[in-house]
Structure 1
Amino acid sequence: MMRLLGPAEIRTLANKLDLRPTKKLGQNFVIDAGTVRRIVRVAELTPDDVVIEVGPGLGSLTLALLPEAAHVVAVEIDPVLAAQLPVTVAERELSGKLTVVNADALRITPEDLSGRAPTALVANLPYNVAVPVVLHLLQVLPSLRKGLVMVQSEVADRLAAGPGSKVYGVPSVKAAWYADVRRAGPVGRNVFWPVPNVDSGLVSLIRRDPPATTASREEVFAVIDAAFAQRRKTLRAALASWAGSPALAEQALTAAGVAPSTRGEQLDIAAFARIAENKP
């Protein structure tokens, strides 16, 4: 079995690099090998999968992913950590299966990935950018078929929420454009260094086709943004500026088969697509 990083090795590496984890970069490193193995197990990787890992940090999860996948593309914004990761991996003779990209995951394009087309996203995501990173990667990497990400517990709830839930909102609906999203289990605080002041959760994503619609993704997302910008209002009122007036909003809603008195939190992604199609 692959020798993974434990608390002592994590701290040794951190001292070597004079590393002080920063809130700005959302750095909380996993120090529990059991948690890392659980993530890889729940991700259900195949030997053909090319994994993209965002925020590999010191390599705790990377080391567990490498034996299970065809290749791992690790995207790390911190240049010191990006330089150390190949060294850590080389000590375990798995260098040929790793590509490290020193970049901001929010700006990654397929051209940045050295010809690799990732099929799976598996990552302990920096909490401050988790939702934008997930949505960006699903948008720009159509090769991604599945994902398992560790995020702040309340973010996991929001991503996986369905219509009618109190926490259903923009992240829930936009993620549903790309994938079936569900909670895949809780993660305690003590598996991290430094220990965060929030609980974490795993979120599973399985790619599926977006709703059949003549509207573009941008057009559908514009409706979603407008609907939730004033989520307490009825859609007739909330979509007034998007449509041009409350009356035009009502016209679009009626044509889409949605009652004008409905609120955004009651609609699924297909309904938002129908509204976008019927913009006056």
Structure 2
Amino acid sequence: MAAPEDALLGPADVRSLAAALGLRPTKQRGQNFVIDANTVRRIVRAAGVGPDDTVLEVGPGLGSLTLALLAAAGHVTAVEIDDTLAAALPATVAARLPERSGRFSLVHADALRVTELPGPPPDALVANLPYNVAVPVLLHLLAAFPGIRRGLVMVQSEVADRLAAPPGSKVYGVPSVKAAWYAEARRAGAIGRTVFWPAPNVDSGLVALTRREPPTTTATREEVFAVVDAAFAQRRKTLRSALASWAGGPAAAEAACAAAGVSPQARGEALSVHDFARLAEHRCAAGERPG
């Protein structure tokens, strides 16, 4: 169902709640609260959330997106690190959507450390991720909760471009490859600055995620990610040079590339996640693998 108009938070509601809590948004935690009801409705629609979904939300803040999600989903679990916000959100939900409050769970914790959640396991991730930790939080949640089949996250526009970038793109890098291990990512829209309070200094973007199976490989995820980190640590260098420390020397890096069917003269931005997986299988430094 759609959220009743008076259930959602507008600019005056957000400022009133913040004032009542004595809250001053902090840059340290990337606190920029959505104040536009049309924006949260748009996010819920784009995420395709329905009554059969259990949604995981990170950084719910004062509850702008939470309320819109709760009106549409079967259950919403929100993870909030801030003491004041975590304490206040259940009361906001109960006051504005009392008939749905039994379908809401609040976890007061750091999303980077959460490995278990109360209630049904989530099948969707929908969140306005704090800009300063967006990528590590996203990767952690995709790893920790394999039941998440799809997601829609709002992140800094530049980060959205990186997450959705294909091999060969100028902005293709570590976030692009690591996200591709778990899911297909695509840009799903832009969000302006004026829908937030306080308004950030950057634009935001939506990224849609669809879970897929990781590459078929004998290497572990950690081993593949170690190659990715090495390749992009010196992204202007060829793989023969960039992977030297990882492989045990330039010759070993070249041998690993040859065995993986990858040109040692290529650079990391030319490789897909499947290429990196093959490289991890063929590391040639004394028969060892990266830990």
The normalised TM-score by structure 1 is 0.98
- 1: CA distance, partners of 2:190 / 2:246: 38
2:197 pairs, out of 182, 193, 199, with 193
Alignment of 1:227 onto 2:257: no
- 1: CA distance, partners of 2:222 / 2:120: 27
- 2: CA distance, partners of 1:198 / 1:115: 36
- 1: CA distance, partners of 2:183 / 2:24: 36
Runs of 4+ in 1 over 2 A off after TM superposition: none
Instruction: Report Cα offsets for 1:191-234 as digits up to 9, x if no partner.
Output: 00001110000000000000111111011000000000000000
2:133 pairs, out of 129, 132, 137, with 129
2:102 pairs, out of 78, 81, 96, with 96
1:46 CA drift (Å):
2.4
- 1: CA distance, partners of 2:208 / 2:202: 20
- 2: CA distance, partners of 1:224 / 1:116: 34
Q: Secondary structure at the match of 2:60?
A: coil
- Residues 261-280 of structure 1 correspond to what in structure 2 (within 5 A)? 261-280=265-284
1:116 CA drift (Å):
2.9
Q: Secondary structure at the match of 1:211?
A: coil
Alignment of 1:170 onto 2:174: yes
Aligned twin of 1:256:
260
Alignment of 1:50 onto 2:50: no
- 1: CA distance, partners of 2:233 / 2:22: 43
Count the aligned residue pairs. Answer: 278
Aligned twin of 2:149:
145
Q: Secondary structure at the match of 1:123?
A: strand
Structure 1 runs not aligned, ≥5 long: none
Give 2:243's aligned amino acid: L
% identity of equivalent residues? 72
- 1: CA distance, partners of 2:153 / 2:206: 6
Instruction: Report Cα offsets for 1:80-111 as digits up to 9, x if no partner.
Output: 1111111011012121011000000011102x
- 2: CA distance, partners of 1:146 / 1:269: 19
Instruction: Report Cα offsets for 1:224-272 as digits up to 9, x if no partner.
Output: 0000000000000000111101001100100000011000000000000
- Residues 205-220 of structure 1 correspond to what in structure 2 (within 5 A)? 205-220=209-224
Structure 2 runs not aligned, ≥5 long: 285-291
2:42 pairs, out of 20, 30, 38, with 38
Give 2:143's aligned amino acid: Q
Q: Secondary structure at the match of 1:149?
A: strand
Instruction: Report Cα offsets for 1:25-49 as digits up to 9, x if no partner.
Output: 1000000000000000000112111
- 1: CA distance, partners of 2:245 / 2:112: 29
2:73 pairs, out of 42, 49, 69, with 69
1:115 CA drift (Å):
3.9
Alignment of 1:108 onto 2:118: no
Alignment of 1:17 onto 2:21: yes
Q: Secondary structure at the match of 2:86?
A: helix
Aligned twin of 2:90:
86
- 1: CA distance, partners of 2:192 / 2:185: 21
